Amino acid sequence: MASMARCCCRVLLLLLLFVIAASADDTKRDDERAPKSDSCNNPFQLVKVKSWVDAEEGHVYNGVTARFGSSLPDKPQNSVRTPATFSDPADCCSTPTSKLSGSVALCVRGDCDFTTKATFAQAGGATGMLVINDAEDLFEMVCSNSTEANISIPVVMITKSAGEALNKSLTSGRKVEILLYAPPRPLVDFSVAFLWLMAVGTIVCASLWSDLTTPEKFDERYNELYPKESSNTETGKYDSEKEIVNIDSKGAIIFVIAASAFLVLLFFFMSSWFIWVLIVLFCIGGIEGMHNCIVSLSSRKWPNFGQKTVNLPLFGEISIFSLVVLLFCLAFAIFWAATRRESYSWVGQDILGICLMITVLQLAQLPNIKVATVLLCCAFVYDIFWVFISPVIFHESVMITVARGDKAGGEAIPMLLRFPRLFDPWGGYDMIGFGDILFPGLLVSFAHRFDKDNKRGVSNGYFLWLVIGYGIGLIFTYLGLYLMNGNGQPALLYLVPCTLGVIIVLGCIRGELKSLWNYGTEPSMSAEPSEV
């Protein structure tokens, strides 16, 4: 029973982790299709809305400017603290009856155009306008036609919850003051360097894992957690080998098609309960991965830890050490799930995710470059289609929408590595999807096995060059992210040429492409090194 549960768990891991190859994203958006004119051509800017209630400093809310209106200073000391007043009528679609002179007008999103709202607020003497959206996102306010928008006050949209908080203070008779400024994002966010190290380090560790953990000893001790199904020595010896999933060309194509179908389901049906399903599955995978990593590393350093056992119902004889580690991993995953909205939760998510990916890269293997070419080319098209082409069909990028959790209250999917933007005044996280590590990681792991089987050194092998290629591909990914003004990028667009392309070109130069292409299918090629 335990063996069956373990198998089901790993099937779930292989299904989910290859589905989401989410790219890093940014909150900045742009709508080039909207009508523009000389007075309606402003770039969208993220805005800090700093508030005071009865002279006491309150919350700082986020907003976004409109295509029209005046620009905002980038520093708070260059802005002016101004009283806030709720307009009457609340939608600002007609001449206001409330006194707006010398104040920032608060207007709800109504039926009239945004330029119409701003015109009435400006005519009433308002020094600025905050438009309260009817949802928890920031809508791009554009001009409805190409006519001139003679608006000289700043116009900013804030979220529904921010507007409700300000309205609550105003309706209770308290004085609310507002200060607006738009600090720029840094040109280069050095936090991506840490994310780069995590991604590259995960692939290197996963590829070298069997060397680091002496699998012959580890397999025997790790399997003590589960009841022995046979007393046959040979069965126990090759038990771990049977669990390895060798991907073939047909399976690679079917897998990417299934991943696309699952991504569409997430796009249409993602909700808070769906996110919870993903969180539970992520925790199951994280527990399995973390347990695997801790036990394997500990078994190498302290080989006697797994000797003491205890009998449990349904599980039979279990290593006490493995059981303690399992309980620790379970507690760790539960703690992360309960505190996943806290600022420090990225640490737990990254630990669980890295352990999970290391374990998956031990379970799934590419037999040769032929299968790698099929899988990575399909993944290449998959990533580009769902990031860049899907907006033509679905009116928004399916991949980025799912990754951000736009349809689940803004809660992002957990299958991401995250690192906080330490030097960005807007905060947030740089992210990379598990798929952007796992797909190239399969190829890098194959290169290490090929080098090891054929007794290749560092210089005349393929592993080091693929690791370098993957690192360069990630650099190109983030360079593309900056050049595209923070819009989401399909990371595999850069990673596949920098990994698959490198091994194919290098194989051609060395005259070994045929050996790499058919590796494992011909005994002579898998048993002897190819000639250089």
Distance of alpha carbon 528 from alpha carbon 264, whole angstroms: 45
Amino acid code (one letter) for 158: I
Closest C-alpha to 37, from 115, 112, 107: 115
Residue 84 phi/psi, 5° resolution? Answer: -105, 140
User: DSSP letter string over 441-479?
Assistant: HHHHHHHHHHHHHTT--TTTSSHHHHHHHHHHHHHHHHH
User: Strand 245-246 vs strand 82-86: parallel, antiparallel, or unpaired?
Assistant: unpaired
Task: Count how many residues are written for the chain.
Answer: 532
Distance of alpha carbon 466 from alpha carbon 470, whole angstroms: 6
Q: Does residue 63 contact residue 84 with C-beta atoms inside 8 Å?
A: no
User: DSSP letter string over 320-363?
Assistant: HHHHHHHHHHHHHHHHHHHTTTSTTHHHHHHHHHHHHHHHHHHH
Amino acid code (one letter) for 240: S
Distance of alpha carbon 46 from alpha carbon 431, whole angstroms: 20
Q: Is 383 annotated as catalytic?
A: yes
- Count H helices and E strands in the chain, helices first: 19, 13
Distance of alpha carbon 372 from alpha carbon 366, whole angstroms: 6
Q: Does residue 433 contact residue 21 with C-beta atoms inside 8 Å?
A: yes
Query: Token pair of 371, please?
Result: 């299968």
- Which class for 515: exposed (0-12), middle (13-18), buried (19 or more C-beta within 10 A)? buried
Which is it for the CA torsion 75, 404, 23, 10, positive or negative?
A: positive
Marked catalytic residue, from 26, 383, 424, 451: 383
Residue 193 per-residue DSSP state: H
Marked catalytic residue, from 25, 189, 436, 451: 436
Q: Does residue 386 contact residue 397 with C-beta atoms inside 8 Å?
A: yes
Amino acid code (one letter) for 502: V
Which residues does the annotation mark as catalytic? 383, 436
